[in-house]
C-alpha cells in the first residue's frame, strides 16, 4: 500500500494582514491570553512590547540561539531592535524598555535566561506560561529568571 503524505499547505496572509513579502512574520496572541488578568494588568506599551518580542521570536527561527532546539522559546531584543528597527522607544528613553520588559517578567510572560551584561552580549529571553497562575500562591519569579536590573533591586 502506497500512502502519500499530505503536504501541509502554507498559510497565505490576507491582503490586509501583510504586504506579502516572503520573510514576513506574524505574532499571534490568543484570546485566552488577552483576556487574562495578567495581560489586562499590563500597560498598552508593555502589551505592544510583547507583540514585538513575538516578531523577534518567529524571526529568529534559524538563528544560532535556537539551533538544535536547545532553547525553542528563546529570543533576543536588543537596543537596535526596540529603538531603531521597531521604534518602540527613543534612545533617550531606554529605561522604559527595561521597565516594560521587567513587567513582562513580573507577570509571567517572559523570563530572562541569559544576562548579557556580564559578557557584554545581548540578554536572551524565553517565553513562559506562568501568566496563567499570576497572582496565585504558586506564582514566583526566581532569581535565575530576572534581569540584572531586577536582581540589583532585591
What percent of the chain clears pLDDT 70, i.e. is strictly above it?
89
C-alpha 140/C-alpha 153 separation (Å) is 16
In terms of pLDDT, which residue wins out, 118 or 80? 80
Q: Are 73 and 127 in contact (CB under 8 A)?
A: yes
Domain boundaries, the chain: 32-153
Q: How confident is the model at residue 138 (pLDDT cuts 50, 70, 90)?
A: very high
C-alpha 57/C-alpha 86 separation (Å) is 14
C-alpha 27/C-alpha 31 separation (Å) is 13
**How do residues 35-87 score in pLDDT, each as one tens digit?**
999 999 999 999 999 999 998 888 766 555 545 456 777 888 888 888 988 89
C-alpha 147/C-alpha 105 separation (Å) is 9
- pLDDT confidence of residue 112: 94
- pLDDT confidence of residue 62: 53
In terms of pLDDT, which residue wins out, 3 or 88? 88
- Sheet containing strand 124-127, edge to edge, reads 74-76, 124-127, 110-114
Entry pTM: 0.84
CA dist 101 → 10, 42, 82 (Å): 32, 11, 11
Burial classification of residue 46, based on how many CB atoms lie within 10 Å of its CB (0-12 exposed, 13-18 middle, 19 or more buried): buried
- pLDDT confidence of residue 74: 84
Amino acid at each position: 500500500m502506497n500512502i502519500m503524505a499530505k503536504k501541509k499547505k502554507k498559510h497565505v496572509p490576507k491582503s490586509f494582514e501583510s504586504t506579502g513579502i516572503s520573510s514576513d512574520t506574524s505574532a499571534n496572541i490568543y484570546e485566552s491570553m488577552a483576556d487574562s488578568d495578567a495581560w489586562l494588568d499590563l500597560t498598552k506599551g508593555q502589551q505592544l512590547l510583547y507583540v514585538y518580542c513575538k516578531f523577534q521570536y518567529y524571526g529568529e527561527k534559524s538563528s544560532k540561539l535556537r539551533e538544535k532546539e536547545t532553547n525553542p522559546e528563546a529570543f533576543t531584543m536588543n537596543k537596535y531592535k526596540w529603538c531603531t528597527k521597531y521604534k518602540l522607544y527613543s534612545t533617550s528613553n531606554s529605561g522604559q524598555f527595561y521597565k516594560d520588559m521587567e513587567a513582562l517578567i513580573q507577570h509571567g510572560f517572559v523570563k530572562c535566561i541569559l544576562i548579557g551584561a556580564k559578557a557584554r552580549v545581548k540578554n536572551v529571553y524565553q517565553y513562559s506560561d506562568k501568566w496563567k497562575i499570576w497572582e496565585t500562591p504558586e506564582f514566583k519569579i526566581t532569581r535565575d529568571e530576572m534581569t540584572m536590573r531586577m536582581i540589583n533591586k532585591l
